Structure 1
Amino acid sequence: MDRTERFYKIELLLRGRGCVSFDTLLAELGVSRATLKRDLQYLRDRLAAPIVYDRFDNGYRFEAGAERQRQELPGVWFSEQEIHALLTMHQLLAGLDDDGVLSRHLQPLLDKLQGMLGADELEARELMRRVKVIAPARRRAPSRHFELLGSALVQRRRVWLRYFKRSDRRESVREVSPQRLVNHRNTWYLDAWCHASEGLRRFALDAVVEAKALETRARQVAVKDLEAELDAGYGIYGGPGAKLKWATLRFSAEAAQWVAHEEWHAQQRARWLDDGRYELQVPYSDSTELIMDILRHGDSVQVVGDKALVASIGERLRNAARLYA
C-alpha cells in the first residue's frame, strides 16, 4: 500500500468509525509506528486535515463538526478539472512574480498549492513535469501593476493610469475605477469604468506604462452589468456599446472532429450538416479576435451570410498570400 492509498484508508477509517486507536490504524495499514506517525503529521500539517487525538477515547478522529464534511484528501484521484485548476493557478501565480514584489504575498499560497500537489518540493516538481499546462504567447504583466490594481479593486479605490494604446500606438492618461481582473488566453486584463469616456473599458495589464492608486472612492458597477456590456461579444474584444452580430462558420468534415468539442462562446449555437460538415454560430461585436481564430483554420472553414466579415477575412487572406507569392 503506497502513501496515497494509506491517506485514503485513514480518511475512510476515521469517517466510518469516528474514533480509531493508533494500534488499530497500524493493523489496518500494515506499516511501522514511525511511518504512521509521519502520515498523521503530514495530513495535519501539509493537507490541513482536521485530525485530532482524543485522550478520553484513546484514538484519533476528525475534529468536532469536521466529520460532517467530506474530508477528501488530495492525491491520485484528482479530477481533470481539479488538476488543471491547481496547476494553472500555480503557474499564474508563479508567472506574476517576475521582480519579487509579490513574493511576500504569493509564497504562502504557492506553498499551499505545492502541499496539495505532493509531499515535498521535489515531488511537486515531478508532478508538474508529468502533467504539463502549456501557456503559449503569454504576455507577462509587471507584478507591481498587478499588485496595485488588485489592491485598488479590493479597496474600491480609483487608479490613475498611463496606458499605451496599441491601435494608434499612442499613450493616454486615464482615471479609472477597477471592476474586475480577467485572465484571457494567458494574458491579464483590467475591466474598469473609465471616467474620461464615461463607460466601461478593458485594459491589457502588459500595456500599462504607469499606475498610481488614488484616495478617491471608485464607482461600482454591478457584475451583471459588466457581463452584459463586456462578455456578450466574442473573446476579449467585447466592444462596449457595440451592436451584437452573429457569425456563421461552416467547418469541413475533417476539421469538425476537433471543432465540435470546442467552446468558442458560452452562447454559441451549433449543428451537424448532412454532408458531415459542422456549422457553428457565435455572437460578436468586434471581429478582431474572431477573425484571428477563423484564420487559424485556413481552408477548413467558411464564413457564410456576413458580407462584412467575409470581406475582411478575404482581404487578410489575399494580403497574406502576397507575402508568399
Structure 2
Amino acid sequence: MSRTERLYKIDQLLRRRRVVPLEVFLDELSISRATFKRDLEYMRDRLNAPIVWDREAGGYRLGGAVSPGLDYTLPGLWFSAEELYALLVSQKLLSDLEPGILATHVAPLQERIVSLLEISGKSSDEIMRRVRLLSMARRSVAPRCFALVARALMERQRAEVDVYSRARDCVDVRIISPQRLIHYRDNWYLDAWCHWRNGLRTFALDTVQRAKLLDQPAVEVEECVLDEHLASAYGIFAGKPKARAVLRFSPERARWVREERWHKDQTGETLPDGSYRLTVPYADERELVMDILRHGRHVLVEKPASLRRRVAEEAAAVAQRYAASR
C-alpha cells in the first residue's frame, strides 16, 4: 500500500468511527507503529488534519482546531487540469516574489502548496520539473506603477497616469478611476473610468510610465455595467459588440478550433464537408484580426464585409511584402 493510499485509509477510518484505537490503524494498514506516527505527523503538519488523541476514549479522532483559513481536505489521487494549473501558477507566482514585507506570510502558503502537490505521490520538485508553465509575449510592468494603480483601485481613489500609445507613439496624461485589474494572455490590464474620455476604457499596464495617487474619490461603476461594456465582446478591447464575426475553418483546422473557446457567447456548427463555422461577437477588430491571421489559409471570414475586407487587406500586404523581398 502506497503512502497516498494509507493517508486515504486513515481518513476513512477516522470519518467512519468516532474513535479509532492505534491497534486498528496498525491492523488495517499493515504497518509499524513508527510508520503510522510519520503518516499522522504528515497529515497534521502538512495537510492541516485536525487529528487528536482522546485519552479517555483510548483512540484517535477528528476534532482538533484547524489553523485559520486552512480547511482540512484530502485532494484527489491526481489533479484535474484546472487544479494542477492553479497550484503550479500559485507556486510560480509566490516563488517569483522579491523578498519583502510579505515574506513571512508567503512561506506558509508555499509549504501548503507543496504539501498539496505531494499528495499525488510525487515530490513537488519532480512535478514542477515534469510540468512546465510557459509564458508567451509577456510584457513587464513597472513595479511602482503597478503598486500605485493597485492602491488606487483598492482604496477607491482616482489616479493620474502617463500612458504610452504605441499606435500613435506618444504619451497621454489621463485621470482615471480604476475599476478592476485583469490578467489576460500573460499580461496585466486595467479597466477604468477615463475622466478625459468620459467613459470606460481598458489600459495595458505595461504602457503606464508614471502613476500618481489623487486625493479624490473614484467614480463607481456597477459590476453589471462593467461586464456588459467590457466583457461582452471578443478579447481585451472594450465596448459593446458591434458585429458578429462568422469564420469558416477548414476540416483540418476544425479538429482544433471546435474545442476552443473564443468567447462565452460564441456559437459553432460542423458543416457537411467537415469544416467548422464559428460565430463570435466583437467590438474592436484589432485582436480578432490577429487571431484570424494566425490560422492562415485555413480560415475564411464570411461575415461581416468590413472584417472580411480588413483581413484580406492584411493578407495581401503580407504576400506583397514577401514578394518584394525576393
Shorter-chain TM-score: what band? 0.7 to 0.9
Decide whether the 8 Å contact of 1:10 with 1:25 is kept in 2. yes
Residue 90 of structure 1: aligned partner? 91
Decide whether the 8 Å contact of 1:50 with 1:62 is kept in 2. yes
Residue 300 of structure 1: aligned partner? 298
RMSD, aligned α-carbons:
2.5
* Structure 2 residues not aligned, in runs of 5+: none
Give the letter for the 2:8 counterpart: Y
Instruction: Show CA shifts across 1:17-63 (max 9, x none).
Output: 13222332222222332332222222222222232332332322222
Residue 262 of structure 2: aligned partner? 264
Task: Give secondary structure in 2 for the equivalent of 1:265.
Answer: coil
Task: Give secondary structure in 2 for the equivalent of 1:313.
Answer: helix
Residue 277 of structure 2: aligned partner? 279
Structure 1 residues 141 and 251: alpha-carbon distance in aligned structure 2, compared to 1, 3 A threshold: same
Structure 1 residues 6 and 307: alpha-carbon distance in aligned structure 2, compared to 1, 3 A threshold: same
Residue 74 of structure 2: aligned partner? 73
Structure 1 residues 249 and 274: alpha-carbon distance in aligned structure 2, compared to 1, 3 A threshold: same
**Could you tell me how far apart the structure 1 residues matched to 2:89 and 2:14 are?**
32
Give the letter for the 1:81 counterpart: E
**Could you tell me how far apart the structure 2 residues matched to 1:64 and 1:314 are?**
67
**Could you tell me how far apart the structure 2 residues matched to 1:57 and 1:284 are?**
66
**Could you tell me how far apart the structure 2 residues matched to 1:53 and 1:154 are?**
45
- Give the TM-score normalised by structure 2: 0.87
Residue 186 of structure 2: aligned partner? 186
**Could you tell me how far apart the structure 2 residues matched to 1:100 and 1:44 are?**
28
Q: State the 1:276 CA deviation.
A: 1.1
Decide whether the 8 Å contact of 1:158 with 1:214 is kept in 2. yes
Decide whether the 8 Å contact of 1:75 with 1:117 is kept in 2. no
**Could you tell me how far apart the structure 2 residues matched to 1:289 and 1:161 are?**
24
Q: State the 1:85 CA deviation.
A: 1.9
Task: Give secondary structure in 2 for the equivalent of 1:264.
Answer: coil
**Could you tell me how far apart the structure 2 residues matched to 1:262 and 1:110 are?**
32
State the identity %: 45
Decide whether the 8 Å contact of 1:74 with 1:117 is kept in 2. no
Decide whether the 8 Å contact of 1:245 with 1:284 is kept in 2. yes
1:12 aligns with 2:12: yes
**Could you tell me how far apart the structure 2 residues matched to 1:267 and 1:102 are?**
42
Instruction: Show CA shifts across 1:237-268 (max 9, x none).
Output: 12x3x552100000011111111111010000
Residue 168 of structure 1: aligned partner? 168
**Could you tell me how far apart the structure 1 residues matched to 2:31 and 2:152 are?**
52
Structure 1 stretch 31-40 or stretch 285-294: which is displaced more? 31-40
Instruction: Show CA shifts across 1:142-167 (max 9, x none).
Output: 44443433333333233332222222
Structure 1 residues 320 and 148: alpha-carbon distance in aligned structure 2, compared to 1, 3 A threshold: same
Decide whether the 8 Å contact of 1:102 with 1:147 is kept in 2. no
Residue 156 of structure 1: aligned partner? 156
Decide whether the 8 Å contact of 2:51 with 2:64 is kept in 1. no
Decide whether the 8 Å contact of 2:233 with 2:241 is kept in 1. no
Decide whether the 8 Å contact of 1:165 with 1:171 is kept in 2. yes
**Could you tell me how far apart the structure 2 residues matched to 1:228 and 1:52 are?**
51
**Could you tell me how far apart the structure 2 residues matched to 1:4 and 1:87 are?**
20
Q: State the 1:107 CA deviation.
A: 4.4
Residue 245 of structure 2: aligned partner? 247
- Give the TM-score normalised by structure 1: 0.88
Decide whether the 8 Å contact of 2:245 with 2:282 is kept in 1. yes
Task: Give secondary structure in 1 for the equivalent of 2:123.
Answer: helix
Task: Give secondary structure in 2 for the equivalent of 1:221.
Answer: coil
Structure 1 residues 213 and 28: alpha-carbon distance in aligned structure 2, compared to 1, 3 A threshold: farther
Structure 1 residues 133 and 190: alpha-carbon distance in aligned structure 2, compared to 1, 3 A threshold: same
Q: State the 1:171 CA deviation.
A: 1.5
